[in-house]
Amino acid sequence: MAVRAVRGAVQLERDEAGHMSEQVGALLTAVLERNGLGTDDLISIWFTATPDLHSDFPAAAARKLGIVDVPLICAQELDIAGAMPRVVRLLAHVESDRTRADIAHVYLGAAAALRKDIAQ
């Protein structure tokens, strides 16, 4: 089993806690499903949010999904002029038999424009 890193992002339509929970939950679910992972495969998840998001911690969505024994951390993205607004990104460290090239990075909706080179 190897340690792999999985990237992902989603752009929120609005800064509301319920909407963030729903969208981040969908992102996490997609990351797990597309990579054939279960919660026991998770080592840690790092979340970032753009500075215009204030309603909740993205990690709260993971806890609502039952991910309660995995280290999670949230941080603020750099405030870069012209950057896509209302974006939550994640970097998950996982145990997987997949090769690095076979890891599916998940960029939902408009966030796919952030990394066209790796978005699936």
Beta-strand pair 106-108/42-49:
unpaired
7 annotated as a binding-site residue: yes
| 107 marked among binding-site residues | yes
89 annotated among ligand-binding-site residues:
yes
The tokens describing 89, both together, are 């990104």
Burial of 35 (0-12, 13-18, 19+ CB in 10 A): buried
* CA–centroid distance for 17 within its chain: 16
Numbered residues of the known binding site for prephenate: 7, 89, 107
Numbered residues of the known binding site: 7, 89, 107
